[in-house]
Amino acid sequence: MKSHTYWASALLVLALALWCTLGVSAEDTTTTASGTAGSFQLEQVYVNAPELDVYFYATDANGESYSPIVVQAQGVEATLGDRKLDTGMIGVAEDPICYIIALDNSTSIDAEDFHKMRTAIWKLAQTKQDKDQIMVYTLAGGAQCALPATNDKAEIFNTLRTIGQSEGAIDLTGTVTMLAADIQTGYQSLAPRKVAFVCTDAAQIMTNLALLGGTLGTDQSNLNMAMYTFICTAAPDQLESTTQMSGGKVIACRHADLAAEMQAKQTKFAQALTLRTEVPDSLTGERQEIFTLSVPKLGSAVKSSTTVYMGFKMERPQVTKVEPLGRTKLRLTFNQAVNANADRPQYYRVYTNDVWGWYVKIESVQLSEDGRTAVLTTEPLYQGRYNVTLNKVASRMTPANVSVRQQSCSFMIARWPRDRAFYMGRFSMPLTIAVVLLGALALNWLVLRRRERVSEQTAEAEHLLAGADSLDGTGALPKRWVTLFWAARGSIAESRWAGIVESSLILGSDAAQCDLCLPDSRIRPQHAVLAVRGEALLVQPLALIRRCLSTVRRSPGNTVCRITIPCVWDARRYAWCCERRKQNETDQMCQRPFL
């Protein structure tokens, strides 16, 4: 009786599979192109704008995978909609995989068979790569997430031990809704490559025709991942036609062979190639585009297309929380795991949130193993508000996801007010530079002023010497333009006077009565004469000359006495004469003409 039931089920399956496959082909346009050179098949297109990664298989006629160099040499072309994408980066797919497993745990399945299905997931976790993730949903009585995505094997094993059978039928519509929502929520934390495994029993295909097409419903194109349905049955040969019509998405096997079939898929995933490129921002948003990968040199048949959802946009790494651990310690929490090389100070910026924007020196960085936190050792912090930004820090999942400095996180320091050391540490260098610049400018001004003064005095002396010998016909003293410079002792300020002088001039403090006005109210108007002393021109008031007439200086022993007297005025010359009188001897010193 049991054998007749299977045959009746098989006939019904074949009839319904034809109808179901037509519906599936309109949903998923992924194709496998075959030719004389081999086959070309798309597995998944990972879109996380601006990153776009394509995972595909390229095999020869013997089923051996082509190397990335051979595939790139054939001239691979990729188009998204009507836009051509760059295909210069093709390599072996080494990105981690997130296995999303939907396990049918209904009581309609034999307990021993359910144990074998659960053991298959156990073995899948044992053979996965270290960074691969496993996410488990149970389907009986409504979809429930039994295990969020994780790569911790101990956590996976502990969760599988707790999963048991439950009452209720499976609800694929609710599973699709929940799965799509969970993937969109945790899209940034999930591995780039995603594959869904639906594990169920043959009895479920009578009430869930969507299983025949290897799909979880009409929303699968929004998930951008590969999907496979494993139907466990005692007679897998009866579902062979269903497997062929589904394009390999439905895999019929015995309960004991489920683990081997999953490991076979793991082996196939390791042979995939990846094409890394970028998608323009103009194509992102709540929309779907047709992605096509082809090799024109191998013929028009070597082409594969799929529908991809463009609504996922990469969330850049940034700091979400800052915890001060002391005056020189900060713990940063990131919104996602960052790359392992983000343990250097140049990847971080800490600065005050004020008009000054002073940067805080970072001594060292200690990154956690999961890449979600980091401890910064800085110079002593002071009271105030600070900002923290990341400087080109890449995500651990994909290096193309790089942080931007416009995204920052602020925190407050309530202790340690700013003291003298704070300001000296920030203003000592600017003050030193300012003093050096001002000193250089002052020195330069003094040098230029001295040069100008010397040049002016030289020009005036040359002007005086040019007319030194010219006299008018009357024999009177010629008029000369005289320029005098004087300055107070200990001062760089200098005054200047210029005028025409014939024999003498009047000096004083009243400009209305005097030729030479001195800034000293104690000087009364008086006559002064000019005399040449070496290379200088002496201005001597007449009052001082008269005072010298009564001045007698005697040398010790009264052997010599010196008397200073004025010389007789001559129409041509005027000079100071000193008469030195000795015992019965008088010497008259030579006269020097006034210019």
pLDDT in tens, 127-172: 999 989 999 999 888 889 999 999 999 999 999 999 999 988 787 7
In angstroms, rounded to a whole number, what is the distance separating the alpha carbons of residues 133 and 397? 12
pLDDT band at 496 (very low <50, low <70, confident <90, very high): low
In angstroms, rounded to a whole number, what is the distance separating the alpha carbons of residues 216 and 200? 12
For residue 366, the model assigns a pLDDT of 93
Section 22-35 average pLDDT? 43
Side chain identity at 394, as an amino acid letter? A
In angstroms, rounded to a whole number, what is the distance separating the alpha carbons of residues 85 and 116? 45
Q: Is 594 left (phi over 0), alpha (psi -120 to 50) or beta?
A: beta
> Are the C-beta atoms of 52 and 46 separated by less than 8 Å?
yes
Count of all residues that appear for the chain in the document: 595
In angstroms, rounded to a whole number, what is the distance separating the alpha carbons of residues 99 and 227? 10
For residue 61, the model assigns a pLDDT of 76
Q: Is residue 553 scored above 90 in pLDDT?
A: no
Query: In the chain, count of helices (H) and strands (E)?
Result: 9, 32
In angstroms, rounded to a whole number, what is the distance separating the alpha carbons of residues 69 and 58? 12
Strands 226-232 and 193-201: parallel
Query: Could you give the C-alpha distances from 436 to 117, 425, 570, in angstroms and in order?
Result: 81, 18, 59
Give start and end residues of each alpha helix (H) in 467-570: 542-549
Tokens of 299: 């013929």
For residue 209, the model assigns a pLDDT of 60
Q: Which positions ≥6 away from 591 have C-beta within 8 Å?
A: 567, 573, 575, 577
> Are the C-beta atoms of 191 and 97 separated by less than 8 Å?
yes
Span 283-332, pLDDT tens digits: 888 788 888 888 777 665 567 888 888 877 777 889 999 999 988 899 99
Q: Is residue 539 scored above 60 in pLDDT?
A: yes
Tokens of 395: 């995500």
For residue 475, the model assigns a pLDDT of 44
Closest to 331 measured CA to CA, from 394, 368, 373, 361: 373
In angstroms, rounded to a whole number, what is the distance separating the alpha carbons of residues 25 and 384? 62
Range with the lowest mean pLDDT among 104-108, 154-158, 249-253, 302-306?
302-306
